[in-house]
Amino acid sequence: MADSNKRPDSMERITTEAQAQAFIDEQIALIREQVKDSKVLLALSGGVDSSVVAALLIKAIGQNLVCVHVNHGLLRKGEPEMVCKVFRDEMNANLIYVDAVDRFLGLLEGVTDPEQKRHIIGEEFIKVFAEEASKLQGIRYLGQGTIYPDILESEQGIKAHHNVGGLPPELNFELVEPVKLLYKDEVRVVGKALGLPDGMVFRQPFPGPGLGVRCPGAITRDRLEAVRESDAILREEFEKAGLAGKVWQYFTVVPDFKSTGIKDGKRAFEWMCIVRAINTVDVVECTVEPIDYDLMCHITDRITHEVPGINRVLYDYTPKPTGTVEFE
């Protein structure tokens, strides 16, 4: 039997809308054949892969897809709203929105170690998702946004391939992975053909632990808000400057460190915001985007005047190596 995790040599790279449409039609038929009238559960983060899988499953099985969107409080500004708008309002998805903000931030209170923070976020995510799954009856299948590089990297021992990361075995799901033989660029072409908005399809990579790794040290709500607001300004300005689809990844970090400044003629002892913008092919090595001076001045002006608690903005000129992309 052919290995279902091996992309056939004869499979053409999907680059056109017509090819995407043919793939969509084929997958709809395959999904229907696999799950029949059973229900499928899907953790919908709002990232490209899970969004494309959701849109495909909605087309194939409609209300028998149950999407769970967990807001862990570390998402970017407007993200939970966008997921609800696109999937619940526009695609009429069966979407469960879980507001777990207090739960996550409560557990993370006072935790300074980066690995422990990641661990708490990952574990709690699984718990919340498993709780939602146990409330539902008759779920046999789990949808996953596994893509081909995940399979290849897992085979090469580079990283463990799982999007849900160790769900409790008693949940006992069979997997539905309609985009598992696609490369990222193909997933985007399929996403466009499915009618997903560009903001979702061409989204820059965003780590699972979200803004948590950009709020170094113990996360506090006020500093987390400063990360979220400064990130929103940076994204808005990159979009306006035409850099949004060109720069691989860009974001802000607000370390737990204050310096003296002046605001409204008074001493202001406040945090600094670090802007990071990098380019890469494989994220193993990265170069720094040579950001335009006037644009950086404008971004600095906006962040220092619009984001409470920030009095300075710094630009990170460190490539990877020696720096990693994220600060934690």
Q: Which is nearer to ligand XMP, 112 or 324 (CB)?
A: 324
Least distance (Å) between residue 233 CB and ligand XMP = 19
Q: Which is nearer to ligand XMP, 92 or 324 (CB)?
A: 324
Q: Which is nearer to ligand XMP, 66 or 128 (CB)?
A: 128
Q: How far apart are CA 70 and CA 74, in angstroms?
A: 10
Q: Which is nearer to ligand XMP, 77 or 117 (CB)?
A: 117
Q: Which is nearer to ligand XMP, 24 or 274 (CB)?
A: 274
Least distance (Å) between residue 209 CB and ligand XMP = 5
Closest by CA to 56, choosing from 93, 83, 84, 27, is 27
Least distance (Å) between residue 22 CB and ligand XMP = 31
Least distance (Å) between residue 320 CB and ligand XMP = 5
Distances, alpha carbon 280 to alpha carbons 148, 175, 203, 324, in Å = 19, 32, 15, 12
Structure tokens at 47: 């990232």
Give the residues lining the site for ligand XMP (CB under 6 A). 118, 205, 207-209, 249, 283, 320, 324-326
Within 10 angstroms of residue 67's Cβ, the number of other Cβ atoms is: 25
Structure tokens at 87: 């999937």
Least distance (Å) between residue 165 CB and ligand XMP = 10
DSSP state for residue 171 in the 8-state scheme:
G
DSSP 82-130: HHIIIIIIIT--EEEEEE-HHHHHHHHTT---HHHHHHHHHHHHHHHHH
Q: Are 101 and 79 in contact (CB under 8 A)?
A: no
Structure tokens at 328: 């934690």
Q: Are 278 and 243 in contact (CB under 8 A)?
A: no
Q: How far apart are CA 209 and CA 115, in angstroms?
A: 11
At residue 223, what are phi and psi to the nearest 5 degrees?
A: -70, -35
Least distance (Å) between residue 289 CB and ligand XMP = 14
Q: Are 70 and 43 in contact (CB under 8 A)?
A: yes
Least distance (Å) between residue 251 CB and ligand XMP = 8
Q: Which is nearer to ligand XMP, 49 or 270 (CB)?
A: 49
Q: Which is nearer to ligand XMP, 302 or 320 (CB)?
A: 320
